[in-house]
Every structure is written in C-alpha cells, then in structure tokens.
C-alpha cells in the first residue's frame, strides 16, 4: 500500500489550487500549519500570494467587493475585514469596528487609549495636522497618537534640516492623506447604503385594508 502523501509536501502550483476552495478564515488557519504554508500565504510582495487572498475574498466575502486601499495588500485587507476575529490591539474584545482612516480594527476601549483629541494647533504643527488622517466623532477630531507623534518627530527633523525636503515630504503626506480619507468616505457611504437596504428588507409591506 503506498504511503499517504502529507499535505505539507504539496508543490506550490497544487497548493494554489487547493487554496481556491478555502475561505479567508480557513487560509489564516492554514498559514499556522507549518512554516512552509506561512511563507506561501504571507509573502507581501508575491503576486501569487496576494491572488490567493484576493480570490478567496471575492468568492466568500461578497458583501464587500471594494479593492483594498492604496498601500495595503490583499492579506492585510482580508484580515481587517474579518471582524469576528475581534480587536487587533487587545486581542480580547470581540465587539469592534474598522477605522479605515487608521487602517485598524479595534474596540472602543482601545480606540480611546490609542487616539488623541486635538482641540488646537498648539501642540502640533498646523501644516502637519491638516494632512493627518482623523476621525470626526461627536464634532471632535481624533488622531492616532502613535502615528501623529512619529510624524511630528519627522517633521521636526526636516524643519531643522532642509526646508525643501520638508515641503516634498509634506506633499507626499498630503497625497496619501487625500487617498486615505477618500477611501474611508467611500467605505462609510457603502455601509450606510447597506444599512438602508437591510432596513428596507425588514419593513412590513403596505397591505391595503379590505
């Protein structure tokens, strides 16, 4: 009797075909089976790897067919979309929300701990703050504190060095900011339409009285 071949010995081309039948959640489980599978499914610059995640997303996550935002690969995008995996920060709270402006899925507690409400331009340079992704919540603007502090340090370094380099850096940040906020707005609009559609489906039909 021939020995059974281990799935871990599948050649790459058969591995790709096998993955075509798996949901995104199954792919995450598969990536933890062995180092070989992890490498197959986690290579950020591999076209084959990203196609595996893309095909699985389009096949099994039909509620969200929008492509990932600029700068985010398919694997990271899929991971962000799987809300049932819970908060990406504390890894505990299952009730969470995707904040596309920050590219993170987190619970309300972690959101409060990781963001900062900026009421004035006293603590941060105005020209930097105006191109940092933010959340408008209850009329207040919230920023991801770690990102804001990091970029503020970079801004200071440029400011005390070459101002021409500072302007080039700000231009790049502005383009990225516009792209992020435009994408976040599109996602928000899509979710609002989805909620309206869901609400309409559950409304009782107007039945005339006899």
DSSP string, 94-147: ---EEETTTTEEE-HHHHHHHEEE--SSSSS-HHHHTTS--EEETTEEEEEHHH
Determine the Cα–Cα distance for residues 99 and 97; give it in Å rounded to an integer: 6
pLDDT of residue 196: 58
By the 10 Å C-beta count (0-12 exposed, 13-18 middle, 19+ buried), 4 is classed as: exposed
Quick check: 1 pLDDT over 80? no
Mean pLDDT of all residues in the chain? 86
pLDDT of residue 194: 63
Contact 76/49 with Cβ under 8 angstroms?
no
Quick check: 207 pLDDT over 50? no
Determine the Cα–Cα distance for residues 134 and 118; give it in Å rounded to an integer: 10
Q: What percentage of the chain has pLDDT greater than the value 70? A: 86
Q: Is the pTM of this model over 0.75?
A: yes
- What number is the average pLDDT over the span 114-140? 88
Quick check: 142 pLDDT over 70? yes
Q: Which residue has the higher pLDDT, 155 or 123?
A: 155
Q: What is the pLDDT of residues 33-45, one digit of tens each?
A: 999 999 999 998 8
Confidence of residue 210 (pLDDT cuts 50, 70, 90): very low
Q: What is the pLDDT of residues 149-166, one digit of tens each?
A: 999 999 998 888 766 789
Quick check: 137 pLDDT over 90? no
Q: Which residue has the higher pLDDT, 147 or 159?
A: 147
Look at 78-82, 110-114, 156-160, 189-193 and tell me which has the smallest mean pLDDT: 189-193
């Amino acid at each position: 009797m021939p020995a059974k071949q281990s799935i871990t010995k599948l050649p790459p081309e058969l591995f790709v075909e096998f993955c075509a039948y798996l949901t995104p959640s199954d792919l995450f489980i598969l990536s933890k089976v062995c180092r070989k599978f992890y490498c197959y499914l986690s290579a950020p610059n591999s076209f084959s790897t990203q196609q595996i995640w893309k095909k699985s997303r389009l096949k099994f996550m039909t509620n969200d067919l929008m492509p990932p935002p600029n700068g985010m690969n398919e694997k990271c995008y899929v991971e962000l979309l799987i809300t049932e995996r819970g908060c990406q920060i504390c890894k505990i709270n299952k009730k969470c929300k995707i904040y596309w402006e920050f590219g993170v899925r987190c619970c309300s507690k972690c959101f409060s701990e990781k963001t900062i409400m900026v009421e004035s331009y006293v603590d941060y340079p105005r020209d930097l703050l105006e191109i940092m992704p933010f959340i408008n919540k209850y009329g207040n603007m919230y920023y991801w504190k770690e990102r804001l502090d990091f970029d503020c340090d970079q801004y200071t370094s440029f400011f005390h060095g070459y101002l021409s380099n500072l302007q080039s850096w700000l231009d790049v940040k502005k383009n990225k900011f516009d792209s992020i906020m435009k994408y976040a707005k599109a996602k928000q609009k899509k979710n609002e339409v989805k909620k309206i559609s869901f609400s309409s489906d559950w409304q009782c039909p107007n039945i005339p009285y006899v």
